[in-house]
Structure 1
Amino acid sequence: MTPATSASPSADPPVSAPFFLRGRLCEGQDVTHRSRDLGVTFATPSIDLDQVVHPRGEVPPLLDVPLDEIIDFLVETGERIRDRRNPFVRECIERMTSTHPLPRDVLEAQVRGAAGYLDKRLLRTVVEQNFPDPRALDEWVPKEDFTGRRSFVRAFAPRLIHVLPGNSPGVAVKSIAQGALVKAVNLFKMSSSDPFTSVAILRTMAEIDPGHPVVTSMSAVYWRGGDEAVERVLYRPQYFDKIVAWGGGDAIANVVKYLGPGFQLVSFDPKTSISMVGKETFVSDEALERAATLAASDVMVLNQEACVASRFLYVEADRDDADRFSARLYAHIAEQAAASDDARPLDVDLREQVETLQLLDDDFRVWGRTDGTGVVIRSEEPVDFHPINKIANVVRVDSLDDAVRGVNVATQTVGFYPFERMADYRDRLASCGAQRIVRLGEAGPSTIGNPHDAMYPLHRFVHWMAHEDGTAPDAEGTADGTSGAS
C-alpha cells in the first residue's frame, strides 16, 4: 500500500498531531492539513496503510480476553484521564485549543467529563442492554431450537473504522470504549478539529500496559475526508467489516459510495433536536420562568454544538405569549453564553440571514446580536437555515399537534414541557421518526444503555457468527417433517 499524499502547506508553524498505530506512537510532520472550522495548519506523519490494517488471517487481539478484564482496563484508563497530571491529556487540550472552535475550558470539561463513561457499572449496563446474553462476547454460546437442531452463536470481534465527529471531543472516549467492549480491531479517523484526543487516550492506555490487547487493537490517524488515495484502499471488505460514521451530510455521503457486500455502515448521521413547549407555560410567571430556564439549558448543551442541543422550540401560544417566552429564553441563553467564555461571532452567511430577519415584519422578531452572545428568533414557521452558535428559533403554534408536523427521521431529541403531556405525544413522535423524548431541560444526560439514534449500537457493531452442529440424536427432522435445509 502507498502512503497518503500531502495537503497544501501553510506558512504558519504547524501544530503537530501524531498517530497511534496498533500500540505504537508515530510522530512526524510529513503532511500538512488545515482544520475545517478555524483554518489552522497542523502536521501529521504520512500514513503507512499497511500498519493500519490488521490481516484477516490473524485472530483479533481482544478475542479471547475476558470482558471483565477489558472493563477493568477501561476503568483504570478513566481514572488516569481524570488525573490532571496526565501529560497526554494536558498536551492534547493545549494543542486542540488552536484547531477547535470551542474554548479551552469547555474542551477540557468535555475530555475529562467523558471519562465518566469509563465506569464499571455503566459499562456493564451498556453491554447488558445491547446483548440479550453478554456471554456471546466471551464464548460460543450453545443453543438448540425446538426441532432439536444444535448450534453455537458468538458476537465475534469485528473490524471497524470509526469516523469521529469534530464537534465533541468526548465522543473519542466513548468510541474507544465501545470498540474495546465488542473486542474489535479499531481504526479511528480523527477530525480536523480534533486530531488529538483519540491519541491522548490511547497513549494513556499504553502507559498502563503497552502490550495490552486493548492497546494493540487500536489505531488513530488523520486524513482529509474524501481523500481517495486513502479511502479507496481502506474502505474495503478485505480489511474492515463496518464503518461507524459520525458527521455531517457530506461526510456520510462520502462513506456511502464505498458500501457494498461485506462492508456496512453504522451511521450516527446529522440530527436536529427540538423542544415542544405547551400552553401550561403561561399559567403563571413562575411557570414561564421555569420553562424558559429549562429550554435555555437544552439550547446550550455544549454551546449548541451537540446534536441533542435544541434549535427549534415550538411554543403553544399566541404571539404576545410567544414573545414573552422568547424574551426570557434570550435572557437565559445570554447569561449562559457569557459564563461559557465562548463569544464566537456568527459566520458571515448566518449573520446576514439573522440581520435580514430583523428588517422584516411582525412574522419575525429577533432578540440579541450576531456577535456570539446569543440570539432568539420568534417566527410563525421554522427558519430555513440551521440554527447554531447559540441561536434559538421559537416557532409559535396554535397547538402542539401542529409542532408534530415539524418532526422527521432527522429529529433526534424532543425536549417536552409540561412533562405530564409527554405520553400523549410519544407514539406520534416515534411515527414521524423522532428517536428520543425527554423532559425539557434534560436533553444532555441520557439513561445508561438506552438506544442511540434509534438503535443499540454495540449489537450492530459485532459480526454475528453461527456454528451449526447438526440435529440432536433424538430429533427427527423439523416440526413439519422436513430436513430444514434451504
Structure 2
Amino acid sequence: MTDVKHLWQGEWIDGAEAGRRLADLDTFAAAARQLPLRTEAVIEACTALAAGLAGAASADRDLLAAELGRSGASEQETAAVLGDLAGLLRRDALERVLTAQLGTTSPATPVPAGSGAAEYWAPVGMVAHVLPGNVATAGPWSLVEGLLTGNLNVAKTTGGSRFVQLFAEALAGHDPSGAVAALTIVLSFPSRNRDWLRTVCQAADSVVVWGTEEAVAGVAEHVGPGRRLVAWGPKISFAYLTEAAWSDPGILADLARSVCRHDQQACTSPQALYLDTEDDDQLFAVAERLAEALAEAAAGLPQPTPTLQERAEITTTVTVARLEQHLGHGRVLADPEGRWRVLADRRSELAVSPLFRTVWVRPLPRKRIPAVLRPLRSYLQTVGLAAAPGETGVLADEFVRAGALRVTAVGAMNDSYPGEPHDGLLALQQHSRRVLVPRV
C-alpha cells in the first residue's frame, strides 16, 4: 500500500503532507470549529450510507467489503460488520441514541431553563479518537458519535487497513453541505510515532482511546490539562449460573453461542463461567457439558484466526493449565482442531481468558462474590446471569455492588440497544458541553 493513506477533510494525502498539516493543526482546528454542522445533516448522511450497506450491492458496500477482505476478514465476517454498521446508522437508531443520551434529537436547539435563560448541548470542540485495530465497527461508530455532537474529529488508526478512512469518505459523500468532510480527519500511524500522537492529543478538547491499559496510559500522558480523557479500556465479562440453571442444556447452548459470536473479541463476550458451588464434581460435570455445547456451536463456523502473539498467549495459558492438572487444580477440555477450549479450575479467582473461544469454568459460591470480585471492580463489565426467578434480582444487585456495569441473560450478553451506556458512561455527553445562554 502506498503512503497515501491519510484522509484530511476529504482529501487523500501522504505522510509528508500529513506531517506538514499536523504542524499547523491548531489553525485547521480553529477554522473547522467555525463550520456549522447540523445534527440532521449527519443523520441524513448516515441514513443514506446505511441503505447502501444493507443492500445487496452498492458502490459504498463494495468498496468497504473489499477493504475488509484485504484486511483478512472472511465473507461471513465482512457481512456481519457491514450489517452491524447498517443497523447502527439507521435514522431510528440514531434518533434513539440522541434521545437516550442527550434527551433530544436536536441537541443544538435551546430549551427554556429558568427565568430568562435557555440551555443546549454544544460541542466540546475537537475530539481525538485513538481507535482499536481489532473491532471493525468501533472506529466508524466513534467518528459518528463525534459528528452527531458537532465536533471536529481527528482519528488515529493503525495497521494496513484504510477501512475507517474509506468509511469516513463514504459518509461524507452523502452530505452535500460538505461539513462532514470538513470536520473529519483520519490518520494512520503507529503509537510509537509519539510526535504525531502528542500533537493530536494536545490539540484536542476530548480524547477517546480504545485499548489496553498500556495504550490508555500511553495516550493519557499526552492529554493536556483540563481536557477530557474518555478511556474505553479492557473489561472482563463472565456468566454466572446457580444450580437451578446449570443443568439446563439451553442455557449452556446460549453461553456457547455467546462465546463463539465474536470469538470473544467484544468486551461483552464471556471469558469465564462461574458456578454457585463448592462441589468439584459438579464443576467438572458442567465443564464437560459446556465443552459439548461449544463443539456444537462452533461446528460450521470459520476457524478463529489469532495473530502469532495471540496464539502464543493461548498456548501458554493452556500449557500451564495442563501442567496444573497434575497438582489437582483442574482439567483441560480442548477441541483437537483448536476451535475451542474449556479450562476447568477449582480456584475461584477472577480469570482473564486469552480469548478465541477459550473459557474458564470456576466455582464462585455466592457468599464469596464480594471478596472475589471487588478487587477488580474497575474491570468488570457484563455478567450473564441465570438463576431461579426468586434469586435473580438479589444476585443482580450483588454483582452491581461488586462493580459490574451490566447484568443480562446469558444469551443476551452481546446484545445492546441504541443509546445504551458504554462502560457506564453516555458517550455523547462526553463529547458535549451543556451551556446556558439568554433566552431570545
- TM-score, L = length of structure 1: 0.80
Computed over aligned residues only, the root mean square deviation of the Cα atoms, in angstroms, reads 2.8
Unaligned runs of 5+ in 1: 1-13, 32-43, 470-486
Alignment correspondent of 1:315: 275
Alignment correspondent of 2:403: 433
Unaligned runs of 5+ in 2: none
1:96-126 alpha-carbon deviations (Å, 9 max, x no partner): 44545x5442144113322201122211111
1:38-78 alpha-carbon deviations (Å, 9 max, x no partner): xxxxxx9767315765645436366352x333312211111
- Residue 299 of structure 2 is aligned to residue 335 of structure 1: no
Q: How does 1:75-90 map to 2 (within 5 A)?
A: 75-90=47-62
CA distance in 1, matches of 2:221, 2:301: 40
Q: How does 1:87-486 map to 2 (within 5 A)?
A: 87-99=59-71, 103-133=74-104, 135=106, 137-144=107-114, 148=115, 150-158=116-124, 159-192=126-159, 195-209=161-175, 211-236=177-202, 239-282=203-246, 287=248, 289-317=249-277, 318-344=279-305, 347-359=311-323, 360-361=325-326, 362-369=328-335, 372-381=338-347, 382=349, 385-397=352-364, 399-407=365-373, 408-418=377-387, 420=389, 421-467=391-437
Question: Does the Cα contact within 8 Å between 2:201 and 2:222 map onto a contact in 1?
Answer: yes
CA distance in 1, matches of 2:26, 2:251: 51
Q: Structure 1 pair 387/401, CA: closer, same or farther in 2 (3 Å)?
A: farther
Which amino acid in structure 1 is aligned with residue 9 of structure 2?
A: R
Q: Structure 1 pair 23/52, CA: closer, same or farther in 2 (3 Å)?
A: farther
Which amino acid in structure 1 is aligned with residue 168 of structure 2?
A: L
Alignment correspondent of 1:3: none
Q: Structure 1 pair 410/384, CA: closer, same or farther in 2 (3 Å)?
A: closer
* 2:266 alignment partner, SS class: coil
Q: Structure 1 pair 443/54, CA: closer, same or farther in 2 (3 Å)?
A: farther
Which amino acid in structure 1 is aligned with residue 143 of structure 2?
A: I
Which amino acid in structure 2 is aligned with residue 90 of structure 1?
A: D
Q: Structure 1 pair 48/330, CA: closer, same or farther in 2 (3 Å)?
A: farther
CA distance in 2, matches of 1:51, 1:427: 51
CA distance in 1, matches of 2:338, 2:191: 28
* 1:451 alignment partner, SS class: coil
* 2:263 alignment partner, SS class: helix
Identical amino acids, percent of aligned pairs: 19
Question: Does the Cα contact within 8 Å between 2:238 and 2:271 map onto a contact in 1?
Answer: yes
* 1:413 alignment partner, SS class: strand
* 2:223 alignment partner, SS class: coil
Question: Does the Cα contact within 8 Å between 1:115 and 1:173 map onto a contact in 2?
Answer: no
- TM-score, L = length of structure 2: 0.87
Q: Structure 1 pair 235/303, CA: closer, same or farther in 2 (3 Å)?
A: same
1:411-451 alpha-carbon deviations (Å, 9 max, x no partner): 11110002633311233222222110101110111133222
* 2:257 alignment partner, SS class: helix
* 2:189 alignment partner, SS class: coil
Structure 1 residue 166: deviation in Å? Answer: 1.6
Higher helix share: 2
Structure 1 residue 395: deviation in Å? Answer: 0.5
Which amino acid in structure 1 is aligned with residue 253 of structure 2?
A: T
Alignment correspondent of 2:6: 19
Q: Structure 1 pair 15/364, CA: closer, same or farther in 2 (3 Å)?
A: farther
Question: Does the Cα contact within 8 Å between 1:60 and 1:184 map onto a contact in 2?
Answer: yes
Alignment correspondent of 1:48: 21
Which amino acid in structure 1 is aligned with residue 234 of structure 2?
A: P
1:130-170 alpha-carbon deviations (Å, 9 max, x no partner): 123554x22333422xxx5x433332123101111122101
1:226-247 alpha-carbon deviations (Å, 9 max, x no partner): 42221222221xx321001111
Alignment correspondent of 1:58: 31
Alignment correspondent of 1:480: none
Which amino acid in structure 2 is aligned with residue 435 of structure 1?
A: L
Aligned residues: 427
